[in-house]
Structure 1
Amino acid sequence: MIRFIHTADLHLDSPFKGMTEMPADRLAELRESTFAAYENVIQYAETSLPDFILIAGDIYDGEDRSLRAQMRFVKGLERLKQAGIPVFISHGNHDHLAGKWTRFELPDNVTVFGPFVETVELKIREHLVRIHGFSYPERHVRKPMIEHYPIIQREQGTLDIGMLHGSLMGEETHAVYAPFTKEALVGKGYHYWALGHIHKRQTILSEPPVVYPGNIQGRHRNEQGVKGIYEVELEETHAAFKFVPTSVLVFDEIEVDCSKLTHANEWLAVCLELVSDRIEQIGACILSVHNVNISEEAVQMFASSTSREWLEILRESAEKDVWFAELTFENTSESVQLPDSPLVRSVKEQMVHWELNEWKHVLKDVYQHARSAPYLSPINQGMKEDLIEEAGKLISNELSK
């Protein structure tokens, strides 16, 4: 049996756009969170002493990686060297080989795969381990690189692992890079596939194991839940997984049942009780709050203030370990309309008085586009009203971030 850590999508030094309203100390903590999560990975490895670590792409958040991010990453690798732990890196679309950065010399316990699929061998006790992988030579790798991985015949005492930063064909939650099919992975004969690129933790297949560990720290409200790494125990006929949490801030959501609420203090008490329970379960978090089953009395209550004001009183009343990113109001199939803020009202009032030539100027890029223009109706009053409402919603959403 061998034991290794499978991680991917570190996205060190992520800028966390859209969170600028957080207090300075909380925003600093958020922007440090990818580094803190990486520190948790290193500390866990120093304690558990795996046979090796696989990093399946996107170490950094962008191709123009910061000097600070590179330095912090290399310091972690040096600690792994001191612990006697080899590290294998397969660069992905965010940290591809053509990116601009000051290249720190990596310690000699680190192997970085090149732009073509290659195989690295190492001996671990009675096992010969062969690791197959490649690094993105540039940001966009659209072709199915899986065809370049060698097919193996399983041999007694030999374990084959594939590293691949890419997408399952048909999966479009992320940009599609280096696409593959389950059948193609199985056809290579490997004992384990260490995937990267998709930020949601998931097992695509159990035999052989085809695994996305997800990213190590959520970065926005679409990356919800506790994030972490997998510690894998692998034998020729069996694999066991242990999920190890690494995230220091968790993006999550709560639903507030408003069917029996009529007063603001009742609503606030329910919210804070749910928040307290969630903090106890997952620790420090950034929450989206969805108000559902809104009674007629609650509709009248919420209509007395803007969504911005409701969000502000929630933020002012909250515990230190939580920040509220979003507030929505839904009554079964339709959204509850709250009054507009002064800014939104001002913008909408200006748009109402636009002349036709002003609308044409604003929409000219859409109407002059060769592909979209044939499918668009002439500008009419109904379209204007819809666009004004949508503009108001967009501004309200941005203000609530």
Structure 2
Amino acid sequence: MIPFRFLHAADLHLDSRFVGLAQLPQAVRSYLRESTFAALGRLVGVAVEEKVDFVVISGDVYDVSDASLQGQLRFQEALRELAGQGIQVYLIHGNHDPLDGPRLNMELPAGVTLFGAGEPGQAVACRRSDGTELAVISGISYPTAKVTENTALRFSRKPGSSLFHIALLHGNVDGDLQHETYSPCTRKDLIGRGFDYWALGHIHKRSILHERPAIVYPGNIQGRSVKETGPKGCYIVDVNEEGHTALRFRELDTVRWQVKEIPIDGLADEAEWTNAVERAVEEIRDELPQLMSVVRFRLTGRGNVHRLLSEKGAAADLLTELQRREAVRAGQQRYAGLVWTEGFSVETGLPVDRERLVQEDSFLGELLRLSGRSGQTQDGLEDLLSAALKPLMENRELRRLLTAIDGDDKRDWLRSAEELGITLLSGAEEAARTGSRHQVHGEEAAEDPGMPDTLIGNSADTGSGAEEW
């Protein structure tokens, strides 16, 4: 087999909306909107720099709801740049950009192959330098937005061909609950089809599900919400004489999303907490000086600062100030190193001796012991929540929403329930109330115990209802 190299990308979502950032200065808004196009430009640059023989794109180039003229023209421009370098492109459309979706009727540049719907199409990719045949590429596009059939079972190797075989599939492997179960299949389905590399799209978190054959999600090329954290980009795939693959991830994003934890344990007052947040902002700026960062701070732990956060608006006030400072930088067009605080997730509690409470022969002690046992394993967590949520599961719409919640969110629910139980049942809240009356000069302030997990920011990251633009 002739060694070769290709680039695998997916989920470009050009010109799509960003979630949870409605109240933005115009300068920051414009920069964010341009970020998906900037990532596309970097993709072209990486393909040229790496001297790849061809590029595969596994669906969701656009979002149907946001299929702007600009997005389509910029993609055409990128395809022409790749064609000008002799780099072939093979692509499919997914659930966000199905073949029946609105788009311009533009002729594809030479060297670009778009696979249609129905049965998987096949094409032979060649080496850039001399046209030697390298690989058989198969792909299938979505005819409409909702494809619930296991389309992986339609794929088959080209009879009699000893070339490397690549399959382009936009689908949900092994039922990832964070994404719609379109074109659902299993790893076993893919392994059994005889292909050497499955170039997947649809799941925005990059992962290598299997090595031989390679089953790969590259993730999306640019994060667009706090649920899409970390580096985003594409894979460079080298195939050697034996047909073995070696993958290297290349970052393409210009805006990096993060969730950063700041414990309040040991912080004496509002000044110390403010300093801790400001240090964290500067650490992010130093860590990623060439990128814009969007961060949500998770405030965790126990301490006296909890009351400032939950009842006195300290987090909201600091958020406003942090955003004002970064807006000044953006107004000066200093986007590299910009750190935009998206919000604070307040997950703090009052100072209590949790270990003592766990040992207590009380309702709260039993609650904490049950929570501890259930949270040790995924099965234990599922059993506890299944029993607790059983009445809600009788409603079809609620059942659909609840089954889509991932394990991390379920653990957050359990932790929040623990904190609420401690706040309401330990007596710490009443002790804190009594002490605080002296701080308000004897006034009997009406105080409601805050929920232990509160998001202070532009919008809650809950999917439906989150603001987009």
Q: Name the TM-score, length of structure 1 as normaliser.
A: 0.80
Aligned counterparts of 2:123 and 2:12: Cα–Cα separation in 1: 23
- Deviation of the 1:144 alpha carbon: 0.2
Aligned match of 2:341: 324
Aligned match of 1:134: 140
Specify the code of the residue in structure 1 equivalent to 2:13. Answer: H
- Deviation of the 1:77 alpha carbon: 0.6
Residues 142-169 of structure 1: CA distance to partner in whole angstroms, max 9, x if unpaired? 000011101467865x100111000013
Aligned counterparts of 2:236 and 2:158: Cα–Cα separation in 1: 24
Specify the code of the residue in structure 2 equivalent to 1:177. Answer: Y
Residues 229-249 of structure 1: CA distance to partner in whole angstroms, max 9, x if unpaired? 101001344111111100000
Where in structure 2 are the equivalents of 1:2-401 lying within 5 Å?
Answer: 2-62=4-64, 65-116=67-118, 117-124=120-127, 127-151=133-157, 156=162, 158-235=163-240, 236-282=242-288, 283-295=291-303, 297-302=304-309, 303-305=311-313, 307-317=315-325, 320=329, 321-331=338-348, 398=458
More divergent stretch after superposition (286-295 vs 192-201)? 286-295
Aligned counterparts of 1:150 and 1:89: Cα–Cα separation in 2: 18
Distance 1:300 1:332, change over 3 A: closer
Contact 2:298 2:345 survives alignment (8 Å): yes
- Deviation of the 1:261 alpha carbon: 1.4
Distance 1:266 1:394, change over 3 A: closer
Q: 3-state SS of the aligned residue for 2:346?
A: strand
Specify the code of the residue in structure 1 equivalent to 2:245. Answer: A
Residues 107-134 of structure 1: CA distance to partner in whole angstroms, max 9, x if unpaired? 0110000112111113336654100111
Specify the code of the residue in structure 2 equivalent to 1:315. Answer: Q
Distance 1:389 1:29, change over 3 A: farther
Contact 1:11 1:34 survives alignment (8 Å): yes
Distance 1:190 1:332, change over 3 A: farther
CA-atom RMSD in angstroms: 2.9
Contact 1:51 1:86 survives alignment (8 Å): yes
| Identical pairs, percent | 33
Specify the code of the residue in structure 2 equivalent to 1:298. Answer: V
Q: Which runs of 5+ in 2 are unaligned?
A: 330-337, 352-393, 399-447, 461-466
Aligned match of 2:421: none
Q: Which runs of 5+ in 1 are unaligned?
A: 335-368, 374-387
- Deviation of the 1:372 alpha carbon: 7.5
Contact 1:64 1:101 survives alignment (8 Å): no
Residues 180-216 of structure 1: CA distance to partner in whole angstroms, max 9, x if unpaired? 1111111111111100000001011111110000000
Q: Name the TM-score, length of structure 2 as normaliser.
A: 0.69
Specify the code of the residue in structure 1 equivalent to 2:256. Answer: V
Q: 3-state SS of the aligned residue for 2:222?
A: coil
Aligned counterparts of 2:107 and 2:449: Cα–Cα separation in 1: 54
Specify the code of the residue in structure 1 equivalent to 2:204. Answer: H
Specify the code of the residue in structure 2 equivalent to 1:208. Answer: P
Specify the code of the residue in structure 2 equivalent to 1:327. Answer: F
Q: 3-state SS of the aligned residue for 1:277?
A: helix
Q: May I ask how many residue pairs the two structures share in their alignment?
A: 351
Aligned counterparts of 1:148 and 1:136: Cα–Cα separation in 2: 13
Residues 23-54 of structure 1: CA distance to partner in whole angstroms, max 9, x if unpaired? 11011101111111111111222222210000
Specify the code of the residue in structure 1 equivalent to 2:345. Answer: T
Specify the code of the residue in structure 2 equivalent to 1:122. Answer: A
Residues 257-284 of structure 1: CA distance to partner in whole angstroms, max 9, x if unpaired? 2112123332222112222222333332
Aligned counterparts of 1:309 and 1:219: Cα–Cα separation in 2: 25
